[in-house]
Amino acid sequence: MTVEKPASYIGGEPNIILKEDGTFDVRFAMCFPDTYEIGMSWNGLSILYNILNKTDHCYMERVFAPKPDMQSAMKKCGLSLYTLETKTPVRDADIVGFTLQYEMSYTNILSMMDLAGIPFRSSDRSEDDPLVVAGGPCAFNAEPLADFFDAVLVGDGEDLLPEFCRIYAECRKAGISKRDSLLKLQKLQGVYVPSFYEPVYENGLFVRMDKLEQSAPDRVLRAFVNDLDKIDYPECPINPLTEAVQERAVCELFRGCTRGCRFCQAGMIYRPVRERSWKKNYQYGVKQLENSGYSEISLLSLSTSDYTQFEPLMLDLIDYCKAGKVSISLPSLRLDNFSFRILDEIQGLRKTGLTFAPEAGTQRLRDVINKNITEADILGAIDKATDLGWSSVKLYFMIGLPSETDEDLEGIADIAQKIMDLARSKNNGMRGRFNVSVSVANFVPKPFTPFQWVAQDTPVEFARKHDLLMARIRKIKGVTLHSHESFVSTLEAVLARGGRELSQVIERAWELGAAFDSWTEHFKEDAWRTALSENGIDGSHYTLKGLPTDAPLPWGIIDCGVSDRFLLDEYRKALSEETTPDCRHACNGCGINKYTECRCGGILK
Amino acid sequence: MNRYVLRFYKKGNIRFLSHLDLVRLFKRAVRKGRIDVGFSNGYNPHELVNIVQPLSLGYETDCDYFEIDTMSEHDPAELMEALNEALPEGLGFFDCRQAERTPEYLSNKTAYALYEAVFGLKSDAEMPCADAFLAQDIITITKKDKKTKNDVEKDVKSFIKELVIFRNPDGTAAARMMLRCASNETLNPGKLLQSLFKFYNIDTDVAECRITRKDIYAERPDGELVPLFRTY
């Protein structure tokens, strides 16, 4: 029997943490429901692994989804899913935690529970089974998976997760049952226990959430970390043995974003902006490089150039990295003058691609989505970029945005055309080649955004739009168009905004063979289509058709900190094409400062 | 610049680490150990390090070779210790010596490698004797053509210097193979075993054999084989 990339299943990587049995109270199996290569690139794992393993009471071990070939090999020889650190069966862990990073990883959760021999539904698990919990961005609406989890942890995990484990350890020591432990645990801010609630539906529409347990909170407020400088950050990241998608030291500059793009869930659920000071970032970055031997460092945030201490950090970091032959990667950069200077300096002669995300093709639609970037910004940046020697640019757009017309789609092609014209004119139409790659994603409305109520385009409509764009863009030399599979986007929309009725759809799709749904080569469209239709979910389902703004939402049990009122106001402003300024120019009253300190309101005024 | 040649072993689970992953791991160990490694010139400077002969995924080694060029002179023992710090279990350097810095790496000097393979054999099964197998006019292995991806047959008789089969005290069988291992011609011991198993109708999956490289050899002009470490 042979499997591909066996090194992803052996563990033992440099910088892992090993703890002896009996030196801790709780074994936490941290499960990433996708492959080793993808999971090892997730910075959150590095953060939580470091924090939890520094406690005496807890031992966090890593688990990833074995690829299909390894899954069948494991089944064939009766090998149960194990942790990479100590090769302990996941079933024997005290807590099994799944991170919910994207909807299309949900079926892998079931594959992993199946391989571990853990019953899927919390109601089917006994006192001897592990407590199964989840966190991550999709935990803000974990309703589609609610039947599978004993508890869902919402918000920043650095303080919450160790405390959760500590309390659970105490409960276990005292011989307290799972249910009674959950009664204690739900008192922690950010802990949602699905079995203490029951959603009520009328005519297929969610109408309210009934409490089955009187002490359960009416709404579960997300957990906050107020000051990033006060929490621990990893200095010794684990070196993946086999090549991971991203293998580099990572500085998390800040969490949150002040831009207020209306489609963006991260921009809402990670509010407010919390910066880590540049000196700390520099120290962590250098320590990570020294302790890992990586030759690349990446600065992570939702909008890197908004970091107030970007200049001092970059100046020092560039010096360090030049001396040590380390390359710097800067995702999410806005191309202002300083950024260009930096990019020019760190990329030197070898220019990698430039990326812009105008998201929409016309100023009107960009105003609707509150994406504060103008055509002049883009063309100005291209002008500079061609001068400095860049020869390719990538553009990201979304289609199917609220109020979108064909004119907005034409606008996408127009921008591409203008960029090509500009690039050609600079080279007198003669010298060198210039490439524009246009990538269009299908818009998926997400919970806790101002667009959480809107309908998604039908697959037919997406296909028509793809064709329309293709017909236009094909005619422009040097421009290529990339689009996404529409049915996957439909599924994403269903899973993102669905309620508990989705649990059986996911389980059914998994039974029919769905797994690794984000991998084109593994995606089983038929399995999903059957599972959806068997459960009566079609285009008229609320997850696709949209929701009334005056009715309760299935995910309303969670409070992300941004007020419902703000989201609704933003939705209304979107429909009247009104923009909302960046929070740093004026506080827009999103309500987050009711719960935690927001240090960015109006600082640029 | 100074050249050091290190010998290393790779045993246990870490045998599942591929050659390219091993190169990356060693490069990180060099950075982690703050070794002043030399860099190539050009657009994309890379560390001047070399693993002398790649080892197939899944094979163990008792003695493979790693070369590194450094800017300053090092105490070989200290250099080895610094590099060993960063290695996972099952992987380690056990010898480090300074060598003359030549334009070519040792990879160009290798001629043969010695392997030992252990495989299961039914207790009543007759012990195959390699003689009949070796007496064939041609000995073919099946391999994938790199371009067409089709299976092609190849005669490798001239690549086999020695092949001995014997039974271990625990009842398993073992093969000792001295096979061509040069920069332009190599014979993978797994492929040869496959051919051998086919010849003797042995029902064993090569993927389940434990294959270990014992050492790599250079060939003297008179044909004598010497372990590589005696040549630098």
A466-505 pLDDT, tens digit per residue, is 999 999 999 998 999 999 989 999 999 999 999 999 999 9
d(CA B8, CA A180): 55
Number of DSSP helices (H) and strands (E) in chain A, helices first: 19, 19
d(CA A64, CA A80): 13
pLDDT of residue A427: 65
d(CA B140, CA B134): 11
Instruction: Give the pTM.
Output: 0.94
What does the mean pLDDT of chain A come to?
93
Does A348 touch chain B if contact means CB atoms closer than 8 Å?
A: no
CB nearest to A10's CB, from B14, B25, B28: B14
Does A13 touch chain B if contact means CB atoms closer than 8 Å?
A: yes
The alpha carbon of residue A243 is apart from the nearest alpha carbon of chain B, in Å, by 7
| Cα dihedral B39, B41, B43, B49 in deg (nearest 10) | -30
Fold of B2-108: Alpha-Beta Plaits (3.30.70)
Check if the beta carbon of residue A455 is closer than 8 Å to that of residue A571.
Answer: no
Residue A537 host element (H or E):
none
Confidence check: pLDDT of A432 > 70 = no
Token output for A294: 């990586």
DSSP A212-240: SSTTS-SSEEPB----GGGS---SS----
Domains of chain A are: 6-197 (3.40.50.280), 248-350+560-605 (3.30.750.210), 353-484 (3.30.750.200)
Confidence check: pLDDT of A430 > 50 = no
pLDDT tens digits along A551-560: 999 999 999 9
B28 and A5 in contact by Cβ < 8 A? Answer: no
pLDDT tens digits along A165-223: 999 999 999 999 999 999 999 999 999 999 999 999 998 889 999 999 999 999 999 99
CA distances (Å), origin B28, targets A289, A487, A514, A521:
10, 42, 38, 33
| A412 alpha carbon, distance to own chain's centre | 26
Confidence check: pLDDT of A153 > 70 = yes
B86 and A12 in contact by Cβ < 8 A? Answer: no
Token output for A576: 């009247």
A292 and B18 in contact by Cβ < 8 A? Answer: no
CB nearest to B18's CB, from A7, A289, A349: A7
Q: What is the mean pLDDT of the segment spanning B183-193? A: 93
Contacts of A449 (CB under 8 A, 6+ apart): A262, A263, A264, A265, A267, A268, A567
d(CA B200, CA B6): 39
CB nearest to B28's CB, from A10, A11, A293: A293
ipTM reported for the complex, 2 dp: 0.90
Smallest Cα–Cα separation from B91: which of A63, A294, A13, A83?
Answer: A13
Check if the beta carbon of residue B157 is closer than 8 Å to that of residue B139.
Answer: yes
A12 and B88 in contact by Cβ < 8 A? Answer: yes
d(CA A479, CA A482): 10
Residues 272-301 of A with CB under 8 A from B: 289-295
Token output for A109: 């959760």
Does A7 touch chain B if contact means CB atoms closer than 8 Å?
A: yes
Tell which of B16, B26, B49, B89 to mutate to test the A interface (max A CBs under 10 Å).
B16
pLDDT tens digits along B24-47: 999 999 999 999 999 998 877 899
Residues of B in contact with A248 (CB under 8 A): none
B87 and A291 in contact by Cβ < 8 A? Answer: no
d(CA A340, CA A430): 25
CB nearest to A12's CB, from B13, B31, B34: B13
B57 and A291 in contact by Cβ < 8 A? Answer: no
d(CA B99, CA B6): 10
pLDDT of residue A434: 86
Smallest Cα–Cα separation from A15: which of B225, B143, B28, B229?
Answer: B28
Cis amide bond preceding A237, omega within 30:
no
DSSP A307-375: -TTHHHHHHHHHHHHHHTT-EEE--S----HHHHHHHHHHHTTS---EEEEEESSSHHHHHHHT----H
pLDDT tens digits along A252-295: 999 999 999 999 999 999 999 999 999 999 999 999 999 999 99
Check if the beta carbon of residue A99 is closer than 8 Å to that of residue A49.
Answer: no
Residues of B in contact with A239 (CB under 8 A): 25, 28
Residues of B in contact with A296 (CB under 8 A): none
The confidence band for A353, taking pLDDT boundaries of 50, 70 and 90, is confident
Confidence check: pLDDT of A349 > 60 = no
The alpha carbon of residue A363 is apart from the nearest alpha carbon of chain B, in Å, by 41
Confidence check: pLDDT of A571 > 50 = yes
Q: What 8-state DSSP symbol labels residue B47?
A: B
Give the angle A424-A425-A429 at the CA atoms, nearest 5°. Answer: 55
Is the four-CA dihedral A123, A124, A128, A130 of positive or negative sign?
negative
Check if the beta carbon of residue A14 is closer than 8 Å to that of residue B86.
Answer: yes
Tell which of A241, A292, A326 to mutate to test the B interface (max B CBs under 10 Å).
A241
Phi, psi angles (nearest 5°) of residue B29: -60, -35
A10 and B58 in contact by Cβ < 8 A? Answer: no
d(CA A136, CA A126): 25
Residues of A in contact with B18 (CB under 8 A): 5, 7, 242
The alpha carbon of residue B197 is apart from the nearest alpha carbon of chain A, in Å, by 17
